[in-house]
Amino acid sequence: MTEDAAPLGAKAGWHIWPVGILAVVWNGYGCFDFLMKTTRNPAYTAQFAQDIQTYWYSMPWWMFGLWSIGVFGALIASLALLMRSKTAVTLFAAAFIASAASYYVRWQEIAAPPVKGMEFMPFVILVIGFALTAYAYWQSTRGVLR
């Protein structure tokens, strides 16, 4: 077989598009949420109690850094997955680690107010982040991502 006729990698399964599109939508909302909270959009933040808003606005800069790596890294990783790029694995892993670190710090803080009715969301976010990282890794080991 000549080099020109060599296959570019394994054929992507039908599931890569639905997973990638859902990942873009999910992580795109995370970026939207981040931007609305960090720009203090009154129409968006009005749904949250004042103590929660005060907590967000008093977070140190490095917590915003972890948060931004988590949401924007995951969105870029989702797009990389759709483009069948191997960098999706690294980006998903970095986003997952940043999210886990920020939630760990928040859980250690006594002053962090809970968002009523949304206490389960950090776990949902971490499970989805881990699942997307594992999925990208699986696609990479199969040769789908190049």
Please tell me the pTM assigned to this model: 0.88
Give residue 88's identity as a one-letter amino acid code. A
Contacts of 132 (CB under 8 A, 6+ apart): 19, 23, 74, 77, 78, 81, 92, 96
**CA-to-CA dists, residue 76 to 9, 15, 143, angstroms:** 22, 19, 20
Per-residue pLDDT tens listing for the chain (146 residues): 444 444 566 787 889 999 999 999 999 999 999 999 999 999 999 999 998 899 889 999 999 999 999 999 999 999 999 999 999 999 999 999 999 999 998 888 777 787 777 788 999 999 999 999 999 999 999 999 99
Residue 140: how many other CB atoms lie within 10 Å: 20
